[in-house]
Amino acid sequence: MNATTSIVAKAAPYLAAGRRMRRTPYTSRVEALGCRVFSVYNHMLLPEVFRGDDADYHHLKTHVQIWDVGCERQVELAGPDAAKLVQLMTCRDLSRMSEGQCRYVPLVDEAGGMINDPIALKLAADRFWLSIADSDVLLWAKGLAVGLNLDVRCSEPAVWPMAIQGPKAGELAELVFGNETRSIGFFRFKRIGWRGHELLVARSGWSKQGGFEVYVDDWDLGGALWDECMDKGRPLDVGPGAPHNTERIEGGLLSYGNDFTNANNPFELGLDKYIDLDKPVDFIGRTALEAIRANGIGRRMMGLFIDARELPACDAAWPVFRGVEAAGELSSCAVSPLFGQGIGYAMLARGCWDAGTAVRVRAPDGRSLSATVAQLPFCKP
């Protein structure tokens, strides 16, 4: 495969084997399909590359892919205080959230620092799932529940999401689950029967190509579902895939651990519309976020258009300069087929963050790349 070949040429490291980096119900499938590149996410294996970086990108934007995102762990909050706890954890007002709904919920700590940015699913008035990014949200939830003596059970249920993503995702979902999937609205979910088992199917996913996430709660069923999707999707040119770095940057999706950490607050990330300080919402970090709003932020996540036809992998922050002055750090980047140039995210200091500002990025290969600050999400060319 192209990806493997090019990576071998760069002497990419191997991933050691160990039970600490857990397999998913789909790992044996992606291995059989030749996947050789993984990362580790929530202590689980996340397959990353199949046909090669470019081919995976174009396939995702043209056809339909099945993703092993079993590493998207669910943190379940259940019990009389579940709704109270989930609201305490996020700055977004959930008072009008209804059952069957998904919501993007920035989680903040007492200082307003980001803990994670999961999708919340309201399963019932007293039962929620948080479909998390790469940090142990369960420990945060349990700590709060114990400390506040809340009547809520916090657990990580045996659920391994499988995503169906791409422009033909709707067609494939219908072939597998029937036409009930048509009636699932964006960021809504339904329970749909499959082989005598009820599966939670949501219209969501970590791409901008549309699709579904299936919350599979039975290990063996997961493998069977993968096989059926690959089989029934053949006429649609289905293939295995994975969240794609280029596609997600083009679409403005931020990645916890890559683009932001606990050291960042949601204002810095431009998540203002999810920060409901003007509503009477009781959440941890409210006082801190009020102070941050009053004082203003000193840095902000912005887009960059980068003058580059080739960019190495971004495995550390790259310094960004405005003239000779330090302007901030680039956290993710890719060469975008859509925009015909490099694009990336950078946390930029006040005075450097206005769209149109000319900056330079120092890449680890020594190049100093000219770049232009842009609004997020990037505007279609």
Give residue for tokens 């706890």. Answer: 85
When asked if residue 255 is in the footprint of a second copy (CB under 8 A), the reply is yes
Bridge partners, 329 (sequence order): 319, 347
Q: Mask 63-92, x = binds a second copy (CB under 8 A)?
A: ------------------------------
Element (H, E) at 246: helix 245-250
Q: What is the footprint of a second copy within residues 312-331 (CB under 8 A)?
A: 313-317, 331
Rounded to the nearest whole angstrom, what is the least distance from the CB of residue 254 to a second copy in the complex?
A: 12
Q: What is the footprint of a second copy within residues 271-310 (CB under 8 A)?
A: 284
Q: Which is nearer to a second copy, 139 or 326 (CB)?
A: 139
Q: Determine the size of the site formed for a second copy (CB under 8 A).
A: 60
Bridge partners, 241 (sequence order): 67
Residue range at the interface with a second copy (CB under 8 A); choices 162-170, 174-182, 251-259, 366-374:
251-259
Tell which one of 131, 181, 258, 336 touches a second copy (CB under 8 A). 258
Rounded to the nearest whole angstrom, what is the least distance from the CB of residue 68 to a second copy in the complex?
A: 13
Residue range at the interface with a second copy (CB under 8 A); choices 37-45, 180-188, 274-282, 289-297:
37-45
Q: What DSSP state is assigned to residue 268?
A: T
Alpha-carbon distances of 264 from 25, 108, 188, 198, 256, rounded to whole Å:
34, 9, 29, 39, 10
Bridge partners, 107 (sequence order): 90, 116
| Token pair belonging to 379 | 């505007």
Tell which one of 12, 224, 277, 297 touches a second copy (CB under 8 A). 12
Q: What are phi and psi of 85, to 5 degrees?
A: -65, -45
Q: List Cβ neighbours of 324 (8 Å cut-off, separation of 6 or more).
A: none
Rounded to the nearest whole angstrom, what is the least distance from the CB of residue 70 to a second copy in the complex?
A: 13
Whole-number Å distance between alpha carbons of 217 and 272: 34
Tell which one of 57, 226, 256, 305 touches a second copy (CB under 8 A). 256
When asked if residue 362 is in the footprint of a second copy (CB under 8 A), the reply is no
Q: Which is nearer to a second copy, 34 or 340 (CB)?
A: 34
Tell which one of 9, 17, 32, 294 touches a second copy (CB under 8 A). 17
Tell which one of 25, 26, 48, 83 touches a second copy (CB under 8 A). 48
Q: Which is nearer to a second copy, 261 or 370 (CB)?
A: 261
Q: Quick one: which of 112, 113, 111, 123 has its CA closest to 86?
A: 123
Evaluate whether 313 touches 271 at the Cβ level (below 8 Å). no
Q: Quick one: which of 155, 118, 113, 153 has its CA closest to 138?
A: 155
Bridge partners, 127 (sequence order): 78, 124
Tell which one of 98, 147, 186, 356 touches a second copy (CB under 8 A). 147
Tell which one of 56, 76, 134, 250 touches a second copy (CB under 8 A). 134
When asked if residue 148 is in the footprint of a second copy (CB under 8 A), the reply is yes
Burial class (CB within 10 angstroms; exposed 0-12, middle 13-18, buried 19+) of 230? middle
Whole-number Å distance between alpha carbons of 13 and 218: 33
Q: Quick one: which of 381, 377, 72, 120 has its CA closest to 250?
A: 377
Whole-number Å distance between alpha carbons of 68 and 96: 32
When asked if residue 136 is in the footprint of a second copy (CB under 8 A), the reply is yes
| Token pair belonging to 7 | 């990576």
Q: Which is nearer to a second copy, 233 or 328 (CB)?
A: 328
Q: Which is nearer to a second copy, 65 or 181 (CB)?
A: 65
- Positions touching a second copy (CB under 8 A) are 4, 7-8, 11-23, 35-41, 43, 45, 48-49, 109-110, 115, 134-149, 156, 255-258, 262, 284, 313-317, 331-332
